[in-house]
């Protein structure tokens, strides 16, 4: 649809709203109902006057067309490869039908909302209302309660069912926050060694040899400093992944971004300490900060986030001087029930998506080190958030997510201690895939450790498995089917969906990363290290393409599972225990622990240019 037609359609829609007489509201019918997820108990009513931002998702009738575009422009063998869509083209493809726009607006106007109280996404596929909980209860024919997670003490304001007028069921896909009980968490930033003060020189001699990003002439060609088995630095990663000596350009048409949630702040003093030690040519450089929903940018050293520090230091350290962006998105699911306390209780991925989808310019590579258990996210919501990621991919953005640190579910191989049960009331044992790691439109990164050989990480367990929500996409059918054909007959029968989207797609180092936090150096790990690491190398690959006037890589998976496989280091040892089982094994080719393997930048560069 051209711009002229788009303007006409919007004008016609608004004209209809201006003259329409609201229809009589049909009887309410239940739209969605769930059982309370395991571990959550009802603990009271919301504070008087507490407000929430209600999101009403309208259907995207042409999403299948956008998906078709996405796969064509991401397939290196297709004639349209790299011809990414514009913001306006993507919005046209996800715009709701005018009948849905009219029906929802008539409902809201009849409920007493004024036009200025109703906010909309750029494509008008989301309607946002910031309203008291009591008003949300009225229009959804529901009751909200405070629910408390018994293990952590976190609280949410949620409902286990909501209703809509019968005639709206075809015009509304979902309404949240209602049945969303996800607890967004880091994946997972373990502290493996105490952070030490700058004046403590313990282990400095061991580490100093691998701080420099320059080639060590004492090492044989292709060899890796053995100290990388105990401490991972930028230099180690450049050596291990065959990028030593590559020089990127500081070009405005290249970019990399890191998402920040849960009040994780990227501290500039820590970043400069990191650069001084590991990337001295980056000293005095910084990154672009973007606040979403009033996300803060505290530079108080005592509030520096380990996760944020890890992400920006390694993603930007690897990709320097590619311009970097850090988003701070306010809001988190836990909600404390003090009178007058107005914390945003909405799950934050969609807030971040709203901001990016409404932006003209978006970083070309984005890494996220946070996730939820898939089963705690209502399927309707997971599908819709995943569709938002597809929109970014169609615009040429590479999205990378950590696979999680708990193997196939809880990281527990002792059957007596496993906690992997379904949330459907039957309490059956079931592996617990992660979301957004399970979304087919993102690239999911598992964890490895050691060098010569590099193996699946063992100090925690690389998340991986098969989605219960998303079917396996065509791009990974051959690789995953080959893996499944090698499994013993009946292994883990009933514990996972063999037809589900499989993850991770790739892997990278995830253990013993030396970062700076709160003015100290220390070691940290998790697949939260693996994702920004892989993202840094994707930014370098985009640099190589842009130097030859080619478009950025965009959505990576169709490339990785085809031509890109020749540029991956296959990992051959390890497993990912969990849910009272040994988990899946690493094997030749793709596996649900390390995916297709780790990147060989030199080989991948030759393939992409």
Q: Is the pLDDT of residue 541 over 60?
A: yes
Q: What is the pLDDT of residue 412?
A: 86
CA 481 remoteness from chain centre: 25
Q: Is the pLDDT of residue 240 over 60?
A: yes
Residues 166 and 223 in one domain: no
Q: Give 423's pLDDT tier (boundaries 50, 70, 90).
A: confident
User: Cα(first)–Cα(last) distance of the chain, in Å?
Assistant: 33
Residues 365 and 502 in one domain: yes
- Rounded Cα distance between 278 and 280, Å, is 6
- Rounded Cα distance between 333 and 336, Å, is 10
Encode 203-224 in three state secondary structure: CHHHHHCCCCCCCCCCCCCCCC
Q: Comparing 24-28, 86-90, 249-253, 563-567, which segment has the lowest mean pLDDT?
A: 24-28
Question: What's this model's pTM, rounded to 2 decimal places?
Answer: 0.89
Residues 169 and 250 in one domain: no
Among 154, 181, 208, the domain-final residue is: 181
Sign of CA dihedral 128, 134, 140, 146: positive
Greater confidence (206 vs 115) lies with 115
Mean pLDDT of 244-265: 93
What are the tens digits of pLDDT across the range 297-344?
Answer: 999 999 999 999 999 999 999 999 999 999 999 865 433 333 333 443
DSSP 245-302: T------TT--EEEEE-TT-B--HHHHHHHHHHH-GGGTT---EEEEESS------GG
Q: Is the pLDDT of residue 48 over 50?
A: yes
Collapse the DSSP code of 468 into the 3-class scheme (helix H, G, I; strand E, B; otherwise coil) and give the result.
strand
Q: Comparing 149-153, 285-289, 512-516, 558-562, which segment has the lowest mean pLDDT?
A: 149-153
Q: Is the pLDDT of residue 577 over 80?
A: yes
Residues 196 and 114 in one domain: no
Sign of CA dihedral 91, 93, 94, 99: positive
Residues 148 and 250 in one domain: no
* In a domain? residue 86: no
Count CA atoms within 13 Å of residue 113 on its CB side. Answer: 22
Provide the annotated binding site for Ca(2+).
Answer: 570-571, 589, 591
- The residues pairing with 525 across neighbouring beta strands, listed in sequence order, are 190
* In a domain? residue 70: no
Residue 14: domain span? 3-60+96-181
Which positions are catalytic?
307, 311, 528
* In a domain? residue 515: yes
What are the tens digits of pLDDT across the range 478-496?
Answer: 999 999 999 999 999 999 9
* In a domain? residue 77: no
Instruction: Choose among 368, 398, 362: nearest CA to 608.
Output: 398
CA 184 remoteness from chain centre: 10
What are the tens digits of pLDDT across the range 69-79?
Answer: 999 999 999 99
- Rounded Cα distance between 39 and 61, Å, is 36
In the chain, how many domains are there? 2
Q: Is the pLDDT of residue 220 over 70?
A: no
Structure tokens belonging to residue 198: 């700058």
Structure tokens belonging to residue 136: 């949300």
Residues 480 and 576 in one domain: yes
CA 318 remoteness from chain centre: 20
Containing H/E element for 602? helix 601-608
* In a domain? residue 49: yes
Q: What is the pLDDT of residue 165?
A: 97
* In a domain? residue 69: no
Longest dimension (CA), the chain: 81
Q: Give 422's pLDDT tier (boundaries 50, 70, 90).
A: confident
* In a domain? residue 228: yes
Residues 176 and 272 in one domain: no
What are the tens digits of pLDDT across the range 525-537?
Answer: 999 999 999 999 9
Cα torsion 234, 235, 240, 242 to 10°: value is 100
* In a domain? residue 489: yes
Q: What is the pLDDT of residue 218?
A: 46
DSSP letter at 452? Answer: S
Residues 119 and 254 in one domain: no
Q: What is the CATH number of the domain that holds 596?
A: 3.40.50.200
Residues 173 and 192 in one domain: no
Q: Is the pLDDT of residue 27 over 90?
A: yes
**151 CB-near residues (< 8 Å, 6+ apart):** 39
Provide the annotated binding site.
Answer: 570-571, 589, 591
Among 181, 209, 240, the domain-final residue is: 181
Residues 563 and 591 in one domain: yes
Q: Give 25's pLDDT tier (boundaries 50, 70, 90).
A: low
Q: Give 419's pLDDT tier (boundaries 50, 70, 90).
A: confident
Q: Comparing 8-12, 62-66, 380-384, 387-391, which segment has the lowest mean pLDDT?
A: 8-12
305: left (phi over 0), alpha (psi -120 to 50) or beta: beta
Instruction: Choose among 530, 553, 534, 558: nearest CA to 543.
Output: 553
Q: What is the pLDDT of residue 151?
A: 82
Q: Is the pLDDT of residue 195 over 90?
A: no
Containing H/E element for 382? helix 379-394
From residue 217, how far is each of 181, 543, 600, 601 by CA, in Å? 54, 26, 21, 20
Q: What is the pLDDT of residue 272?
A: 98
Phi, then psi, of 598 in degrees rounded to 5: -105, 160
């Amino acid at each position: 649809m051209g711009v002229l037609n788009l303007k006409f359609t919007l004008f016609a829609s608004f004209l209809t709203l201006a003259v329409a007489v609201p229809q009589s509201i049909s009887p309410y019918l239940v739209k969605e109902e769930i059982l309370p997820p395991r571990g959550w108990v009802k603990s009271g009513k919301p504070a008087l006057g507490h407000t929430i931002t209600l999101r009403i998702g309208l259907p995207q009738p042409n999403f299948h067309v956008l998906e078709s575009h996405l796969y064509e422009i991401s397939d290196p063998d297709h004639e349209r490869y790299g011809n990414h869509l514009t913001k306006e083209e993507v919005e046209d493809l996800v715009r709701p039908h005018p009948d849905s726009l009219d029906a929802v607006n008539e409902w809201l106007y009849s409920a007493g909302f004024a036009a200025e109280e109703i906010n909309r996404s750029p494509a008008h596929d989301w309607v946002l209302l910031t309203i008291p909980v009591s008003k949300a209860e009225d229009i959804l024919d529901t009751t909200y309660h405070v629910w408390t997670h018994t293990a952590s003490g976190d609280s949410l304001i949620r409902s286990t069912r909501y209703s809509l007028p019968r005639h709206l069921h075809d015009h509304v896909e979902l309404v949240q926050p209602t049945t969303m009980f996800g607890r967004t968490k880091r994946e997972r930033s373990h502290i493996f060694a105490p952070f030490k003060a700058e004046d403590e020189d313990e282990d400095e001699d061991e580490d100093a040899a691998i701080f420099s990003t320059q080639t060590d002439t004492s090492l044989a060609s292709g060899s890796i400093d053995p100290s990388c088995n105990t401490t991972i630095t930028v230099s180690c990663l450049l050596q291990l992944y065959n990028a030593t000596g590559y020089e990127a350009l500081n070009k405005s048409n290249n970019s990399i971004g890191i998402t920040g949630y849960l009040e994780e702040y990227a501290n500039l003093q820590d970043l400069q300490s990191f650069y001084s030690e590991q990337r001295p040519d980056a000293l005095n450089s910084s990154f672009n900060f973007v606040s979403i929903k009033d996300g803060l940018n505290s530079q108080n050293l005592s509030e520096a986030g380990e996760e944020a520090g890890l992400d920006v230091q390694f993603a930007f350290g690897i990709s320097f001087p590619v311009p970097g962006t850090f988003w701070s998105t306010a809001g988190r699911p836990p909600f404390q029930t003090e009178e007058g306390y107005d914390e945003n209780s909405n799950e934050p991925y969609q807030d971040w998506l709203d901001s990016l989808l409404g932006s003209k310019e978006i970083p070309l590579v984005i890494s996220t080190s946070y996730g939820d258990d898939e089963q705690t996210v209502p399927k309707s919501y997971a599908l819709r958030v995943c569709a938002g990621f597809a929109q970014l991919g169609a615009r040429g953005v590479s999205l990378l997510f950590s696979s999680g640190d708990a193997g196939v579910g809880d990281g527990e191989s002792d059957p007596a201690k496993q906690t992997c049960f379904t949330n459907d009331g039957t309490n059956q044992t079931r592996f617990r895939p992660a979301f957004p790691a399970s979304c087919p439109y993102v690239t999911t990164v598992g964890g490895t450790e050691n060098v010569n050989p590099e193996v699946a990480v063992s100090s925690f367990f690389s998340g991986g498995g098969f989605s219960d929500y998303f079917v396996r996409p065509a791009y990974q059918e051959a690789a995953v089917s080959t893996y499944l054909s090698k499994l013993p007959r009946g292994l883990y029968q009933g514990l996972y969906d063999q037809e589900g989207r499989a993850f991770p797609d790739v892997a990278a180092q995830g253990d013993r990363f030396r970062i700076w936090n709160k003015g100290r150096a220390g070691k940290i790990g998790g697949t939260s290290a693996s994702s920004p690491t892989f993202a840094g190398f994707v930014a370098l690959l985009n640099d190589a393409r842009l130097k030859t006037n080619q478009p950025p890589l965009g959505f990576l998976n169709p490339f990785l599972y085809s031509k890109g496989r020749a540029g991956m280091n296959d990992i051959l040892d390890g497993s990912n225990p969990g849910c009272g089982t040994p988990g899946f094994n690493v094997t030749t080719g793709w596996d649900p622990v390390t995916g297709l393997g780790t990147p060989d930048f030199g080989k991948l560069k030759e393939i992409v240019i």
